[in-house]
Amino acid sequence: MLDLKTIRQNLAEVQTALNRRGGGYDLQVVTDLNQRQRDIEGTRSQLQARSNEIGKAVGQKIREGADPKGPEVAALREEGNQVKAELGELEPQERQLKAEIEAILLGIPNLPSATTPDGKDESENVEVRRWGDEYLPADSTVLKPHWEVGEAMGILNFERSVKIAQSRFVALLGVGAALERALITYMLDRHTQHGYTEVIPPYLVNTASLTASGQLPKFADESFQCRNDDLWLSPTAEVPVTNLHRDEILNAEDLPHHYCSFTPCFRREAGSYGRDTRGLIRLHQFNKVEMYKFVRPETSEDEHQALVKDAEAILQGLKLPYRVIELCTGDLGFSANKTYDLEVWLPSSGTYREISSCSNCGDFQARRANIRFKEAGKKGTQFVHTLNGSGLAIGRTMAAILENYQQPDGSVKVPEVLQLYMNREWL
C-alpha cells in the first residue's frame, strides 16, 4: 500500500511515478477525500474540546453553588447535548471517508523503481543475460513436447485428472511423481544450505492474509474461496510467508529473515483460457518452492540481486538453459517495484518460458501487513522491505527436463544432481 502522507505531500511526483505503469490511476481522488476527512477531523476535535470544556464548566458551576437543575446549568447541558449530537453526525462521516480512502489505496499498485525500464507491456521487457547455451539440444526439431513424452511414458495423466477434478489438472504417476518429489527436495536442500529457513505454512489462508500480501482485492477472481469459512486456497507461498510476521515489530539486529517454503498453489487462471491448454505450464494446481525475505531498506537492492542468483543456481545445477529478463513498468506485478523473470528454454515451442519471478516489493507489502522493525536504543520504527521469488515452479521445471533431457529415441535422462535423489539415471 502506498503511504497516504507521501501522496498528500508529494502528489505530483507520486502521480508521475504511478503513471509509468499505465492504468489511469488518479491520486487526486485520494487527496480530495483525505482533505475532507481531515477537515471533519479538525471540526470534530474542536467540538470534542468544547464538549470537555462544557463538562468541566457544569461541574465547576455546581461546586460554586449553582442549582444543578437551574437555568445556568441547564443552558450548558443543552449546549453539551447539541455538541454531542454534532459529534454523532461527524464520526460516521469520518469513518466512511477513511474506509473509502483505504479501499482506493488497496487497489493501487506499487510505484515502480526508478531503475525499472519503462514499457507498455511484456514486448518491451529487457533481456539481461543468458546462460547454458552449451546445453541447448542439438536438434530440437526431433523433440516432442513434454506432455506427449510424459503421456507416452505413463508418468503424466491429464485425462484421468479431468474425471477427478476438471481440465487443467494433472496426475503424476510412478517416476513422474518421484521426479516431482526429487525436484522439491533438491530445491529445498539447496536453499537451506544457503541460509534460508524452511517453512511449511498453512495451505489455507484468510482474507486478511491475502489483503496484506497484495492478492486482494485485485485478484479475487484468480483465487479459490472456501464456501463456508473465511478461508481461501493459497495461490502461492508468498501469501502465508508474508503473514508470518503480520502486525509485528521485529528487532533490527535479527534482520534479515530468509525463508523458503514448498507449497501446492491454486489459481483459477481467469482470463487465460486458450493459452497453454496442453501440458504443465498453466494448471489450476501446481507445486512451487518459494523464497522470501524480510530485510532492512538499505539492503533490499543487494538482497534482490542475491535472490535472483539463488533462483539461477537451481537452473544451473540442473543444467537447463535460461535467460534473465527485467520486467518493464507495463508488465510489473501489482506489489512489485522491480522484477526479474527467469525464463527456461522449452525446445518444443522454440522459446523461453517463465519459471521464476523474483520481485522487490519495497515497503509496499509491509505497510499493508504492518510489519516494522526497531533499532535498539532508537525511537520509532520503520517498515521492513519484502522480497519474493520462485525457486522454482516445479511443474515448469519438470516440463523443461522432459524436453531438454529428451533423447532421440524418446527416453529422458535424469539430470545429474537429481540422480542421487531418484536412484536412477533414466526416467
Interstrand relation of 372-374 and 249-251 (parallel, antiparallel or unpaired): parallel
Catalytic residue among 267, 367, 368, 372: 267
Chain centroid, CA 127 distance in Å: 23
- Would you call 282 a catalytic residue per the annotation? yes
Report helix angle 27-63 to 71-106, nearest 10.
Answer: 160
- Would you call 357 a catalytic residue per the annotation? yes
Catalytic residue among 44, 181, 282, 323: 282
User: Can you read off the three cell numbers belonging to residue 118?
Assistant: 519503462
- DSSP secondary structure of 143-158: PPPHHHHHHHHTSEES
- DSSP secondary structure of 235-268: S-THHHHHGGGTT-EEEGGG--EEEEEEEEEE--
Distance from C-alpha of 221 to C-alpha of 144, rounded to nearest angstrom? 34
Fill in the DSSP letter of residue 221: G
For 26, the 3-state DSSP assignment is coil
Distance from C-alpha of 392 to C-alpha of 133, rounded to nearest angstrom? 20
User: Can you read off the three cell numbers belonging to residue 3?
Assistant: 503511504
H/E stretch holding 339: strand 338-346
Q: Are 396 and 170 in contact (CB under 8 A)?
A: no
Tell the burial category of 368 from Cβ atoms under 10 Å away from its Cβ (0-12, 13-18, 19+).
Answer: buried
Fill in the DSSP letter of residue 426: B
- Would you call 390 a catalytic residue per the annotation? no
Catalytic residue among 51, 357, 359, 390: 357
- DSSP secondary structure of 38-79: HHHHHHHHHHHHHHHHHHHHHHHHHHTT--TTSHHHHHHHHH
Catalytic residue among 20, 21, 396, 403: 396
User: Can you read off the three cell numbers belonging to residue 191?
Assistant: 536453499
Tell the burial category of 370 from Cβ atoms under 10 Å away from its Cβ (0-12, 13-18, 19+).
Answer: middle
- Would you call 50 a catalytic residue per the annotation? no
Distance from C-alpha of 142 to C-alpha of 133, rounded to nearest angstrom? 18
Q: Count the alpha carbons within 13 Å of 219 in the hemisphere toward its beta carbon.
A: 23
Fill in the DSSP letter of residue 162: H
The catalytic site residues sit at 267, 282, 354, 357, 396
